[in-house]
Amino acid sequence: MNLSDTTPIQDSLAASAVRLSSIHSRDLLQDTARNDALKHALAGCHFDFSRQRVDQQALAELIRFANSVDLPAKRDAMLAGASINRSENREVLHTALRQGAAGVSKSIKIEVAETKRRLYACVEAIRSCRWRGYTDKPIRDVVHIGIGGSHLGPELLVNALAHLPSAQKAPNIHFVANVDAQDISHALSGLSPETTLFIVVSKSFSTLETQVNANTARSWFLERTGNLDALGQHFLGVTTNLVAASEFGFSKENLFPLWDWVGGRFSLWSAVGLPIMLKIGCEAFDRLLDGARAADQHFAQSALDQNIPVLAALLATWNTSHLGCDSLAVLSYDQRLALLPDYLQQLEMESNGKSVDINGDPIDYRTMQVLWGGCGTNGQHAYHQLLHQGTSKFAADFILVGEGDTGHNEHHQWLLANGIAQGQAMTLGHVPANAGEQHKRVQGNHPSTTVVLNSLGAEQIGCLLAIYEHKVFCQGVLWNINSFDQWGVELGKQLALPIFAQLSGEDASTQDPATRHLIDHCLGLNRAK
């Protein structure tokens, strides 16, 4: 069954969408029982779905839909280690990294525990200054080289949790992702090879951008030291391809595994999270895992109508496929979470940006919204005008932090006030009392979710990110798509290879006219230098 099928459940959902189109959100909020049913708490996080355009009847129909596509059974299959990634014949077991998957084999549990032990030993050695560079100086700077899932989660959390007391004695963490030379040049500026450690993360050890940047880092180090034997003291690797990593120059003891059953965008809980561990320390990283494990247990055990990621997925699917919301704005009202929209873009759009179902058949209904966003209150003076008075249909996630961290109470109160007020305006709108002031009309009636983290601790953000991970899985089930492959990404990589060669002088006559023109134009610019 899918969203295009003609069934009593789909007919009921379609009828509810029509019925609710004539009911404004300000009227829905008058139903106290409805509001209470849409508020949930977990691990220091408060999830408020009451500003969504749904009533109890529609919510009950959405739960029926979830049961009709066997969501509970498919959830259990994922957590038990079934090969649900059908196009790649792989298990999906990122929950095993936080010991939240009950059905995981003993061998996987042992391997995860042993890798964690090695990681923590490495982290403690670096943070305590026992790890020394080739001139016996401690490590002061760490340059993390990765892209996509190997980069977005670590950078988000290193920034989000930099205020923790344990983060104050960490080395400086720098991130390099873009193949643009400006990125790595900026990261390396002012660094000394004697006190710099590189972490290279590539699942396949063939990701083009990461390879190019890693080679540049290696050359930078060797040009300044002339010491090939010192690489082992200054390079760590995270990969599944241990052979290729060894050929690069990594010593066996400096390599950490990343398994096929962990997708890149679900991998920050693994060795990919090494920069997070270095920043906040092992105890705080354990609390991050604790928060994610709380989300795993809630997801596995809670009834569907009380299950936070299930409700989030159902409402997101409702907004997209029935209410016609083409985009999701993620609005972080905390500067420390400025990178959250970037992280969620990959997590959600790379997972569920699909136009064929799990059988490879084309689908004729909307799937993933375009996810974008930014940091409040900056956005209020930019794109919020469109959100309030534009013609686009959208949904929004507001992310707030209840407790401020800076000691500037007035600042934080204004931040919270603005975040709450923006959600209110998008929900209630504004009808001018004066007929001559229709330019001030704000329609409102836009669905939104508000999440309040009691504080920005490791446990809270661990819970939040795991909830989003499970939401993504549930949406994939509801849309009947595979959330765990990304063949569209692979196509772009493949097409870049011959173009690179042609920019180096090979014959480009086989390219399409538009591509051939751009190659010739760029070649001409370089010849003119």
The residues annotated as belonging to the active site are: 350, 381, 493
Which of helix, strand or coil describes residue 392?
A: coil
DSSP state letters, 318-363: HHHHTT---EEEEEEESGGGTTHHHHHIIIIIIHH--SB-TTS-B-
Element (H, E) at 36: helix 32-37
Q: Which two tokens stand for residue 282?
A: 């092992």
Q: Which two tokens stand for residue 311?
A: 């409700």
Kindly give, in sequence order, each residue whose CB lies less than 8 Å from that of residue 439, ignoring residues fewer than 6 positions away. none
Place of tokens 């809980």: 269
On whether the CB atoms of residues 368 and 406 are closer than 8 A, the answer is: no
Calculate the alpha carbon distances from 89 to 81, 84, 85, 86, 485 in Å: 12, 7, 6, 5, 10
- The reply to whether omega before 377 is within 30° of 0 (cis) is yes
Which of helix, strand or coil describes residue 368?
A: coil
On whether the CB atoms of residues 210 and 202 are closer than 8 A, the answer is: yes
Strands (E), 97-225: 141-145, 172-176, 196-201
Element (H, E) at 428: helix 409-428
Element (H, E) at 399: strand 394-401
